Amino acid sequence: MTNETRRTALAAAAIFLLFLVGWIFIPGLVLAAAEISPWLGVVVAALFVLTFPAIFWLRSRHNRRIEDKVD
């Protein structure tokens, strides 16, 4: 395993663990937001779910830019 693949694996594991912890708190956050407005609860839940692939997409874009600068 090279240093770069090790860093990538550690970053992915850290992001995944962060979201696992988030899954513990998201029901309470959604219910609290839904007390204000049901639509706000839906928005909070959707944002949480959509940030997971968005973080990996942004990370891949960042890595591609770094690789393009090196080449």
**28-48 confidence digits (pLDDT tens):** 999 999 999 999 999 999 999
Contact 31, 24 (CB under 8 A): no
C-alpha 21/C-alpha 13 separation (Å) is 12
Q: Which residue has the tokens 């909070």?
A: 44
| Predicted local confidence at residue 38, as pLDDT | 96
| Predicted local confidence at residue 56, as pLDDT | 84
Low-confidence ranges of the chain (pLDDT < 70): 71
C-alpha 2/C-alpha 20 separation (Å) is 27
